[in-house]
Amino acid sequence: MAILSLLLLFSTAQAATSPLACKAIYRTLDEKNNTIERSTELSKRSFGGDVKHEADFEGKYFTLTEDKNGDLFAQITTAPDYTKGTVVRGAADSQGRFTATEVVGYTIYRLECDRTQN
């Protein structure tokens, strides 16, 4: 039993320290109700112990900042002034996933992040 507990503790700690990989997703319907979906990976850079993921995509600015404690702050904002949009603060779930979504009419803008397994 002690070995199982130790393995669970190790796997949880490993998941919390694995880097996040994030992508922006754009999904809408055309005039014939066909789904159109496009996505792009967010670029990543580190500064002062924090990691920032970002991309300008389909008229939106997608950003996720992870601080050194693992807390996440996500934004999906509208170009050109980037003052309207969605803001989410939270943490990755037990599977290492985090999502933020903004819905505008028939269009969905989604930020999906997942801890990569090294």
Model pTM score: 0.81
Number of domains comprising the chain? 1
Residues in the chain predicted with pLDDT less than 70, given as ranges, are 1-17, 117-118
- Phi, psi (deg, nearest 5) at residue 46: -110, 145
Tell me the three state secondary structure of residue 72. strand
pLDDT of the residue at 111: 98
**pLDDT (0 to 100) of residue 7:** 34
Backbone angles phi, psi at 106, to 5 degrees: -95, 15
Peptide bond into 80 cis (omega under 30): yes
Answer whether 60's CB lies under 8 Å from 109's CB: yes
Domain range enclosing 12:
2-115
pLDDT at position 17 is 62
